[in-house]
């Protein structure tokens, strides 16, 4: 048995118009099946349905180049657009030329896993109480509502591995398993692009992450990797405090530091993108284990120096990180089992709005077809504490602490703490209680800049 193909073009030669293709990969561009994607673009097939986490940024060798070439008719993804990143796909979605089905990240991989396992549908607590659950079948189990989710099957899957043998056995490296195993199982034809092809037996059985029975074709990558691209340190704007009433609030780093202090010792913690990623830098000397949706447990601080970066060790935001002793890697299905199964003790996320019922909106500023759900809804469906970190008001000075969220909900009645650049709020007795304010501010000034009703605690302290 030999599943090796001579070139990417040969490996995708039978893909025709209207095919459904799952493209695995998570955040970092160098771990996508770029050779296969370029070959598909050059083949020019049209009316494709793409299943993926996101299409990526303009010009990136990901699904976005297929959208730029007007080859995509439908998108099934956790992210359709990202704020501040105009794309061809966003223009096509807005014009009605591209159909979109937004799916929470953990449910996307679970639907694919179910498709490969011969399970036609399943119930999940994810997305209950949000617009995504409207019109869907909902059933209660143990007194808790669950949404019916259907399995996903695709014609082809494009995967990226570290190495494979000619029998189709694949090894992934570091945190780069992500969507690959579930997408392979959902596909009629799984095609894996790898850095190295070896003979059977060269990969020890215990290092095979995807058995060859799930793989139809293997091809060696034809894209040369630009090492400088993934080594380039991330450029960040200076972290200046926002002014309220002419006085400085906490910086974003200050918000992250205060949120870190809420984390209990001996716990497992998930950090979202944006301000939450900065929290990791304040947990280094703590008895805390960090979890990332792409499939890492036990990562440490963010790194940028050439000699510190490993291209396969990164967090859910695609930032390169260090590892702590005892760290482990796994795929996204396992990662979200940890979240929905209640194994994560604390989740720290950013948000657009929080309202006085404890509900949160953090994935869309427009409508339920244009935004980025990511893994947030799955993370909220677990049983851990939810800490929201954000600035007190938006860039136009409007309050983000609302009576009722104006944006589509991510989760209903689920927030335990809110840390802003002006305040610390704790959910207690079915209301938010103000416990701390930024240095130099009074409780009255903080409440004035919020729309929701907030109780004032008996001993309001200054935030450290």
Closest CA to 111 of 59, 142, 148: 148
Active-site amino acid positions: 293
Is 129 in a helix, a strand, or coil? coil
Contacts 24+ apart (CB under 8 A), 66-69: 66/37, 66/40, 66/41, 67/92, 67/98, 69/41, 69/44
Q: In angstroms, rounded to a whole number, what is the distance separating the alpha carbons of residues 307 and 294? A: 23
The residues near 162 (Cβ < 8 Å, ≥ 6 apart) are 170, 171, 172, 173, 176, 194, 195, 196, 312
Question: Which CATH number is 8-222's, of 3.90.1150.10, 3.40.50.720, 3.40.1390.10, 3.40.1080.10?
Answer: 3.40.1080.10
Distance CA 172, CA 194 (A): 9
Residue indicated by tokens 């003790």? 345
Of 252, 230, 232, the C-alpha closest to 241 is: 252
- Homologous superfamily of 243-462: Glutaconate Coenzyme A-transferase (3.40.1080.10)
Taking a C-beta distance cutoff of 8 angstroms, is the pair 165, 203 a contact?
yes
Structure tokens at 5: 């193909």
Kindly state the tokens that stand for 266: 């001996």
Report yes or no: 46 and 66 within 8 Å, Cβ to Cβ: no
> Quick one: which of 51, 28, 105, 78 has its CA closest to 336?
105
pLDDT computed for residue 237 by the predictor:
56
First to last CA, the chain: 64
Q: Which two tokens stand for residue 406?
A: 């104006």
Q: Which pLDDT belongs to residue 303?
A: 87
- Tell whether pTM > 0.85: yes
Scanning the structure block, which residue is given the tokens 């000034």?
445
Ramachandran angles phi, psi of 390, nearest 5° = -170, 170
User: In a structure prediction context, what are the per-residue pLDDT tens digits for the chain, which is 464 residues long?
Assistant: 999 999 999 999 999 999 999 999 998 778 899 999 999 999 999 999 999 999 988 888 899 999 999 999 999 999 987 777 788 999 999 899 999 999 999 999 999 999 999 999 999 999 999 999 999 999 999 999 999 999 999 999 999 999 999 999 999 999 999 999 999 999 999 999 999 999 999 999 999 999 999 999 999 999 765 544 455 444 455 689 999 999 999 999 999 999 999 999 999 999 998 999 999 989 988 999 999 999 999 999 888 887 789 999 999 888 899 999 999 999 999 999 999 999 999 999 999 999 999 999 998 766 655 688 899 999 999 889 999 999 999 999 999 999 999 999 999 999 999 999 999 999 999 999 999 999 999 999 999 999 999 999 999 999 98
Q: Are strands 247-248 and 243-244 parallel, antiparallel or unpaired?
A: antiparallel
Measured CA angle at 341 (ends 339, 346), to 5 deg: 45
Q: Please, which residues have CB within 8 angstroms of residue 128's CB and are 6 or more apart in sequence?
A: 138, 145, 146, 147, 381, 412
List the chain domain ranges: 8-222, 243-462
Dig out the tokens for 345 from the structure: 């003790």
Give the burial class of 121: count Cβ atoms within 10 A of its Cβ; 0-12 exposed, 13-18 middle, 19 or more buried: exposed
What whole-number distance in Å separates Cα of residue 181 and Cα of residue 335? 13
Contact 447, 456 (CB under 8 A): yes
């Amino acid at each position: 048995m030999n599943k090796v193909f001579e070139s990417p073009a040969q490996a995708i030669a039978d893909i025709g118009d209207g095919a459904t293709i799952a493209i695995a990969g998570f955040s970092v561009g160098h771990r996508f099946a770029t050779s296969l994607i370029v070959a598909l673009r050059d083949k020019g097939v049209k009316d494709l349905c793409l299943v993926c986490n996101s299409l990526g940024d303009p010009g990136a060798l990901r699904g976005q180049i297929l959208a730029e070439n007007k080859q995509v008719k439908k998108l099934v993804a956790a992210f359709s657009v990202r704020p501040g990143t105009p794309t061809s796909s966003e223009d096509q979605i807005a014009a009605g030329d591209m159909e979109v089905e937004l799916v929470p990240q953990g449910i996307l991989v679970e639907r694919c896993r179910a498709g490969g396992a011969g399970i036609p549908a399943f119930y999940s607590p994810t997305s209950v109480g949000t617009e995504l659950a409207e019109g869907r079948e909902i059933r209660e189990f143990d007194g808790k509502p669950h949404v019916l989710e259907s399995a996903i099957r695709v014609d082809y899957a494009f995967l990226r591995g570290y190495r494979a043998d000619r029998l189709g056995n694949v090894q992934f490296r570091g945190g780069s398993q992500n969507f690959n195993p579930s997408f392979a199982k959902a596909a009629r034809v799984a095609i894996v692009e790898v850095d190295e092809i070896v003979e059977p037996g060269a990969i020890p059985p215990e290092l095979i992450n995807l058995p060859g029975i799930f793989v139809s074709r293997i091809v060696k990558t034809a894209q040369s990797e630009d090492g400088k691209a993934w080594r380039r340190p991330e450029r960040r704007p200076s972290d200046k405090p926002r002014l309220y009433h002419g006085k400085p609030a906490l910086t974003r780093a200050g918000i992250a530091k205060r949120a870190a202090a809420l984390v209990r010792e001996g716990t497992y913690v998930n950090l979202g993108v944006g301000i939450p990623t900065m929290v990791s830098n304040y947990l280094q000397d703590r008895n805390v284990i960090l979890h990332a949706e792409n499939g890492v447990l036990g990562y440490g601080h963010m790194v940028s120096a050439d000699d510190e970066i490993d291209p396969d060790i990164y967090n859910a935001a695609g930032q390169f990180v260090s590892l702590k002793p005892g760290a482990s890697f796994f795929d996204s299905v396992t990662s979200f089992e940890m979240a929905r199964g209640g194994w994560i003790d604390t989740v720290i996320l950013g948000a657009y709005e929080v309202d006085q019922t404890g509900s949160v909106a953090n994935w869309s500023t427009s409508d339920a077809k244009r935004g980025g759900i990511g893994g947030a809804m799955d993370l909220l469906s677990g049983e851990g504490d939810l800490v929201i970190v954000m600035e007190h008001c938006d860039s136009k000075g409007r309050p983000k602490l609302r009576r009722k969220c104006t944006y589509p909900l991510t989760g209903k009645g689920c927030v335990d703490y809110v840390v802003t650049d002006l305040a610390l709020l704790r959910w207690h007795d079915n209301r938010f209680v103000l416990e701390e304010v930024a240095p130099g501010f009074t409780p009255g000034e903080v409440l004035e800049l919020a729309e929701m009703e907030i109780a004032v605690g008996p001993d309001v302290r200054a935030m450290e």
